[in-house]
Amino acid sequence: MRWPFGVFEVRGTRTPPRPTAPAKLFAVPTPEDPDPGHAAPSPGSGRSVPGRPASLLASPVLLFLLITWQITVHGPLARADEQVGRAVVHPDRVSGDLADLGNIAVAVPVLAVVLACAAWRARRAGTDRWWLPPVIAGALMAAVPALIVPLKELIARPGPPVMGPVTGFYPSGHTATAAVAYGVAALVLWPWLRTPYARRTVLAICLVLNLAVAYGLVRHGYHWPLDVLASWCLCAVLLSSLRILLNRISRISP
């Protein structure tokens, strides 16, 4: 426990305060401060951004491989997916508008504004290498098409009937764009959110936006449900990797 006083008394003896290390942006919590959600941190306070241990990256990878295998061989999981998709499809204006939240023209500008604000705040606070997290986050967003497009062409899954006789629907590009753009925005904003309420609000907004995109894509008939789920698996790996990288950058900062 870090005490707010210069010294404190214990049975007549004076004990000097314990030294503290300089605060770093995106730092990993110390053993003395294991719960990053217990108190509201200030920027650079030494608390971590949200995320899971790297060992759990295996779960989305294995799920993605399972789904991809079923899609390529048109196994029972793929057939069930198509039955569900046909049952729930009902194109309307609301579902189309929700799906558009995953468009590059919508999601990427939102991310750009967040990255610019985070960079400005970090520079004002005198954070070392304040420009590096936004640059890495932007590069991850730019890499999404390089990951998704080859998979679409390789697997060449036909889309729902309303999309006509074309292929290239697996995995969903709109889902990946939304998940990475809004997820990266939440990660970059995390160290600057001063209250638990603010952090919960940002995470809730990110979740709602991604669920809205998924609902719109499936309901409007743009994608099968497993197209969306597979993209979420890939993006879970990307976002977790970004969190780990940001923490490592903080550790090596002077």
Model pLDDT, residue 124:
86
Q: Which residues are 10's β-sheet partners?
A: 13
Model pLDDT, residue 200:
94
Q: Which residues contact residue 200 at a Cβ distance below 8 angstroms, ignoring those fewer than 6 apart?
A: none
Q: Domain ranges for the chain, please list them.
A: 60-252
Check: CB of residue 102 under 8 Å from CB of residue 217: yes
Check: CB of residue 75 under 8 Å from CB of residue 69: yes
> Measuring CA to CA, how many Å separate 141 from each of 25, 53, 75, 158, 223?
21, 22, 32, 26, 21
Of how many residues is the chain composed? 254
How far from chain centre, in Å, is Cα 123? 23
Model pLDDT, residue 141:
96
Q: pLDDT tens per residue, the chain (254 residues)?
A: 444 433 333 344 444 445 444 444 444 343 344 444 444 444 444 444 444 555 668 899 999 999 999 999 999 999 999 999 999 999 999 999 999 999 999 999 999 999 999 999 888 887 788 888 899 999 999 999 999 999 999 999 999 999 999 999 999 999 999 999 999 999 999 888 889 999 999 999 999 999 999 999 999 999 999 999 999 999 999 999 998 888 887 666 55
pTM score, two decimals?
0.77
Model pLDDT, residue 192:
85
Angle at CA of residue 246, ends 52 and 29, nearest 5°: 60
> Measuring CA to CA, how many Å separate 219 from each of 95, 178, 201, 228?
6, 17, 26, 12
Closest CA to 173 of 210, 202, 140, 148: 148
Quickly list H helices, the chain: 58-73, 76-88, 93-99, 104-124, 132-155, 173-189, 196-220, 225-252
Check: CB of residue 130 under 8 Å from CB of residue 123: yes
Model pLDDT, residue 252:
61
Check: CB of residue 25 under 8 Å from CB of residue 133: yes
